[in-house]
Structure 1
Amino acid sequence: MKKKISAEMMAEKFKVTDEKVKEAVQRLIETYKPLYIYTFGSYAKGQSDLESDFDVMVVIDQFDDTPWAVTSRGYLKLGSLLMPVDLLVYDKTKFEVCKNDKTTFCYKIVKTGRLLYERK
C-alpha cells in the first residue's frame, strides 16, 4: 500500500535548516574558494518558514568560465541538500563596485544580509 505524502510532509523534507545551511557553506567554500559568502532574505532575517529558500551570494576572485557555468557549478554541489536555493555569484571586481552603489541588489545584500564566511 502506498503512503500518501502530504504537502506539509514534502515541505518539511525540503525546508531550509541551519544544518543544511552549514553544509551548503562548506560545499560553496570547496567549490569556489570564495572571498565572502552572504545570506539574504528570510533566512538572514531569521524569518524563514516551510516555503522559504536559501538566498546566498558568493564573491569569488574571478570567473574562470561564463557566469552561467560558474553559477551552475554551485547549484550542482548544493542540489543533494534538498532545499531550495537562490544562488548569486559575483567576481571581486564587480562586487567592489556594486557593494557601494545604493542602486544595486549587491549593496542591499551587504547592508541587510548576513556574512556567513570571509576568507582570512
Structure 2
Amino acid sequence: MTDRALATDLLARDPVLAEIVRRLVDALHPDRVYLFGSRARGDAGPDSDYDILVLVDHPTEPRYRLSQRAFRALRGVPAAVDVVVWDRQTFDARLHVKASFPAMVAREGKLLHAA
C-alpha cells in the first residue's frame, strides 16, 4: 500500500484523526503531518492519545506560537491530542541520527498529509 493510500485508509477509518488533520492543515498550512506513537504502531489502548508531528517549511513565527495556534485549532476535538511542531529543515537535518526524534518518526510514523 502506498503512503497516500495508507493515509487515506487511516483517515477514513478514524474520523477523529481526520478532523485533527483537517484542523491542523487549515490553521498551520504545514508541509507534512505525521501520526506517531502507539496509534501509529497499532498498539494503542482505549485511553491512548493522538501523537501528531506537524512540519512547517520555513516558518515565519517562533515554534511556540505555531504550537499555540495548533492547540487552539484543536479545541473541542473529542480526544486527547499531543502536537509537536518542528520546522522541516531541522527535522530533515536530524533524520540521519538513528536515536533522534525525526528518525523515530520516519521509522514508526504514518504520513497523513503532504503539501
**Which range, TM-score by smaller chain?**
0.7 to 0.9
- Answer yes or no: is 1:74 the counterpart of 2:74: no
| Residue in 2 that maps onto 1:47 | 43
Shift of 1:26: 0.7
How many residues align? The count is: 103
Q: Which runs of 5+ in 1 are unaligned?
A: 1-16
CA distance in 2, matches of 1:100, 1:42: 23
- Greater relative contact order, per chain length (Cα 8 Å cut-off, separation 6+): 2
Aligned pairs for 1:23-34 (under 5 A) are: 23-34=19-30
Q: How far apart are 1:102 and its partner, in Å?
A: 1.2
Query: Which residue among 88, 103, 107 is the counterpart of 1:92?
Result: 88
Which whole-Å deviations, capped at 9, do the CAs of 1:30-58 have from their partners, x for residues lacking one? 11111111111111122222220000101
Gap runs ≥5 in structure 2: 1-12
What SS class does the counterpart of residue 44 from structure 1 fall into?
Answer: helix
TM-score normalized by the length of structure 1 = 0.79
Q: Does 1:104 align with 2:100?
A: yes
**Bigger radius of gyration:** 1
Contact 2:92 2:102 survives alignment (8 Å): no
- The TM-score, its normalising length taken from structure 2, stands at 0.82
Alpha-carbon RMSD across the aligned residues, in angstroms, is 1.4
- The sequence identity of aligned pairs, in percent, is 28
Alignment partner of 1:109: what SS? helix
Deviations 1:83-118 (A, max 9, x none): 111111111210111222213111101111111111
Which structure features the higher share of helix residues?
A: 2
